[in-house]
Structure 1
């Protein structure tokens, strides 16, 4: 049962942040979008039988070289067999995130009329997300395209302060599981509970849409974010993941 849940979450989170190009090879998924986002530009293991690490390494290096990118592997704790081969080739470790999960009934029930929820991102929502994330022009274009690729039920939530968007997040429901994504609060308006209210708005939307559970990914050392999510009911840790990037010779 735990293994089933882990892979359900793994698949739902990928679907909530689709890559422009995805190629499956021998039990591995090669994702490529360009830009700086690691999730949509990395090799990911798929559930089930996977090819030998040495074979996927050769394929990954060829695939990303063809796109002018450095090979990058996303390593979830539920499928980490490639680590030894990556160590041998000097791939460097970076990042580190946690998957959190909760049944919908375990999450806070807060309905806030000041939180706007829409099935599509408005220009104001996008501009706020770009401002909060420090996106360059290339990443702005990639993010716009990515949100347009999301399949299924989705919602884009925001909370205003002084007539401008101060906090954003979006959610995607896949097979009854809400995935919370892209949570951000403008630095000028932090410590006011706006991020919590915005995520709560997505939870309320998901509950009314029939979702039975929710999950999200949070950077392991982001203490404020983890406290925010715990206050909403996200207290169960499923598994962690990190990245391994090929070192570039000086």
Structure 2
């Protein structure tokens, strides 16, 4: 597969693995809104193919987000960086550098672990662990639950427990043969004990049995522990990076940023 094809295939798969409640297309960009603090589901994302003139795209996105009381936010991957000069001119700041990693499924370490629970839907224990470690408020809990309900395609929610308490978790979605690894987290009390590696390994094992041909994920550039975990599992190939551009305007409500662990915000 050509590099450009792989990049855009991954771009689509990662976007569909974390759906937004509202999405509209404007001049080749997908304007996404879900509420909450996850940036990629509340930002303008480029689509493959012909995209509009930067000024026109930014005007449309600014009007869309202002209409919903949100600060305009653009997700800018290296493979579609044409808005950068105009965003600079308009005073948008830069934040949230993130890496896309990819590996063939046979290059990834993973299998079936007796202590890793794999389910096609998130249990209440899985949700509770996610909300506890992520510090979600009531509104964000509703947003996240709705997001998981909207996911299409094969999916699995995995977790590891200690004394009947979920201490590590993740979920994965297979889109067109590509496993997207999402929401990886280990409770701070149980880190450096192998729970994260076994949990993601269990997800990889599920994806291999389900017929996935490759795996991918997004990780924040400066998240050294997460990057080390993924390298140990075989995610060694970097495809491209992305960052966000945000302009704070007093009249609009700013979406808080997040310092999510692995699959990046």
CA contact (8 A) 2:180 2:216 kept: yes
Give the Å deviation of 1:247: 2.7
Distance 1:101 1:136 in 2: 32
Partner of 1:20: 21
Correspondence list, 1:11-50, <5 A: 11-50=12-51
CA deviations on 1:85-139 (whole Å, 9 max, x unpaired) are 0000000111111000000010013321100000000011001001111111111
Q: Is the 8 A contact 2:111 2:206 kept in 1?
A: no
- Equivalence for 2:140: 139
Contact 2:110–2:202 (8 Å) recurs in 1 = no
Structure 1 length-normalised TM: 0.98
User: C-alpha offsets along residues 149-202 of structure 1, whole Å, 9 cap, x if unaligned?
Assistant: 000000000000121000000000000000000000001111101011100011
Q: Where does structure 2 lack aligned partners over 5 or more consecutive residues?
A: 252-265
Aligned to 1:55: 56
In the other structure, the counterpart of 1:225 is 226
Q: CA RMSD in A?
A: 0.9
> What are the residue-to-residue correspondences of 1:95-244 with 2, within 5 Å?
95-244=96-245
| Whole-Å separation in 2 of the counterparts to 1:109 and 1:42 | 33
Distance, in Å, in 2 between the alignment partners of 1:223 and 1:196 is: 15
Q: Count matched residues.
A: 250
Residues 54-113 of structure 1: CA deviation (Å, up to 9, x unaligned): 001110111001100000000001000100000000001111110000000100133211
Q: How far off is 1:246 after superposition?
A: 1.0
SS of corresponding position for 2:231: helix
Q: TM-score, normalised by structure 2?
A: 0.93
Say whether the 8 Å CA contact 2:110–2:200 is kept in structure 1.
Answer: no
CA change 1:47–1:208 in 2 (3 A) is same
Q: Distance in 2 between matches of 1:143 and 1:75?
A: 23
CA contact (8 A) 1:42 1:74 kept: yes
Structure 1, gaps ≥5 residues long: none
